[in-house]
Structure 1
Amino acid sequence: MPNLQDVILYESKHQEKDFVQPHSHQTHQILYVLDGQGRCQLNEHTSPLKPDSMIVIPPHTEHSILAASKMTVLILEFSHLHVDADTREFLIKPVFKETKVWSLNLFVSSEIRQLLRKMLYEQSQESIEYKLGIKLLLSQLLFILMRTNQSMAQLDSNTLRSSWLKEYIDSNFYQITSIEEMAGKMGISSRYMNQMFTEVYDQTPMRYLTEVRLTRVKKMLTETDLDIVTICFEVGFESLSTFYRVFKKQVGVPPNRYRTTYVGMSDE
């Protein structure tokens, strides 16, 4: 068992169907899967493992691992006693606030792998300075994970809010008057709302609103006898000129020509 004031990094190789019995540690652990497949059970919750999966395990957390194939895992183990108060508060606390398996994107996984290689190198030197080097690299790694965790939480939050906004547009397309109105209902700025929605759906909320309205318009043109003025105002356009301009730009023909061309085709 490592000294609780040490930072230690070591490789653990597993053969297919190897099973590490449920156990826990007094130390903080980060397990990084280099290759292979398997499963990890954390507090009775099972998650799949694959290359670049990373397991964050706080002290005294029961966990076990089952290898579905040959699997190589790097294990980084350390105690909070090894780091200063700021690192404990602003890095360790947010990174280890919950036990989970992280799936990292290519950019972050590349950074993490590079830092782990550097830590292995420093550890192999056994010089008087290596402990300082390991400590600095550990802080870098924790900083990256802290930022990644914040980004993941923000992405989850933005995805949920964007989904809500999409549903709101689907249900209220006929009465939405402006982007400011939608942003006001969400309690955020229109600029941030645009950025958030575009990151999730690859288009702005107003562009999506226009698509929803035009889809409804095309259906009404081909399936009803309503006049174009009525259709225009029923779907939420505030002026006939704007409606004609937007429809022709997006569809390629004016609404009356669309009607004469496609009427009856929806029944075929």
Structure 2
Amino acid sequence: MAFQHIELPSCGISLYESKHKEKDRVREHHHAVHQILYAIEGRGRITIDRSSYEVAQDNAVVIAPYTRHSVISDSRLTLLVLAFDEKSLDSFVQRDIMNKFFKKSRYFTLNPMVSGELRQFLRKILFEQSQRFPLGSYAIKIHLLHFLLVLARFQEAPQHTDTNTLRAERIKHYIETLYYEPLTAKDISSRLGISTRYVNNIFKEQYHMTPMQYLAEVRIQTAKKLLAETDKDIATICFEVGYENLSTFYRVFKKTVNMSPNRYRQLYQPVD
């Protein structure tokens, strides 16, 4: 088994392309650093410590240091390889994320929402590498951390066998973690690759409301907590929970809670 040295830049992180023709074989080898292989196109197989896994578009494989692995392409196979030295990460990342979730090699079959998030972080890393901005190395580390967080949360998420139940749970989790972004029903349906009408139907069947109604509920519940527990300005709370203007925030809050944000704060904020 061959040891292959991977030359990393000073930031300790590198993202690069690995292209394979049909029937190509990368012989068994290992590295001293972590690798994450992300399939962009094609099909193949990867063997990790003599266990074989099918690799297709949007599958990911985390390869821990010194793990024996090889790659065989059934067709033209394009991988993005995210290589990094764990020692380049902050100590809390090493302790709470790397040691807990990525100490061993692991294969991931990703759902469309998770793969969509991961693709965006890979694009951001590629952009920072190409531009060479003065603070680019810090940006790359941040994007890598986000990438690892998404994968770690994916490991912790409950798994369902029913397809529609699984989809509804993914939508719910997606809203709960990204409620502060300008989400639309179209955004969610495009992530899942199904129609907006179908998204509404399967979510409503499971949770008795549409995804956009649930988004408003999550935002308002978060706003209520901030109103009662902090002294933040209402404009700041409006911004923090994802509304672009105060008038929309006031309208949705009053419709949901049957009172204005100011009145809610007066009633529920503890008096010193």
TM-score where L is the length of structure 2 = 0.55
Secondary structure, aligned partner of 1:155: coil
Secondary structure, aligned partner of 1:54: strand
Q: Distance in 2 between matches of 1:95 and 1:20?
A: 26
Q: Name the residue aligned to 2:138.
A: 132
Secondary structure, aligned partner of 1:108: helix
Does residue 79 in structure 1 map to residue 71 in structure 2?
Answer: no
Q: Deviations over 1:41-89 (max 9, x none)?
A: 0000001011001001110000000000001000000011111111111
Among the aligned pairs, what percent are the same residue?
36
CA shift, 1:92, in A, is 1.6
Letter in 2 for 1:150: E
Q: Distance in 1 between matches of 2:17 and 2:80?
A: 5
Aligned pairs for 1:1-268 within 5 A: 1-3=6-8, 5-151=11-157, 154-155=158-159
Q: Deviations over 1:164-193 (max 9, x none)?
A: xxxxxxxxxxxxxxxxxxxxxxxxxxxxxx
CA shift, 1:137, in A, is 0.4
Which ranges in structure 2 are unaligned for 5 or more consecutive residues?
Answer: 1-5, 163-204, 207-272
Q: Distance in 1 between matches of 2:8 and 2:78?
A: 24
Q: Name the residue aligned to 1:178.
A: none
CA shift, 1:98, in A, is 2.7
Q: Distance in 1 between matches of 2:141 and 2:73?
A: 31
TM-score where L is the length of structure 1 = 0.56
**Greater helix share, structure number:** 1
Letter in 1 for 2:159: L
Q: Deviations over 1:208-249 (max 9, x none)?
A: xxxxxxxxxxxxxxxxxxxxxxxxxxxxxxxxxxxxxxxxxx
Does the CA-based 8 Å contact 2:15-2:80 persist in structure 1?
Answer: yes
Q: Deviations over 1:25-51 (max 9, x none)?
A: 100110000010000000000010110
Letter in 2 for 1:47: Y
CA shift, 1:99, in A, is 1.7
Letter in 2 for 1:59: P
| Paired residue total | 159
Find runs of 4+ consecutive structure 1 residues off by over 2 angstroms: none
Q: Distance in 1 between matches of 2:114 and 2:86?
A: 24
CA shift, 1:94, in A, is 2.7
Letter in 1 for 2:153: R
The structure whose Rg is larger is 1
Q: Name the residue aligned to 2:185.
A: none
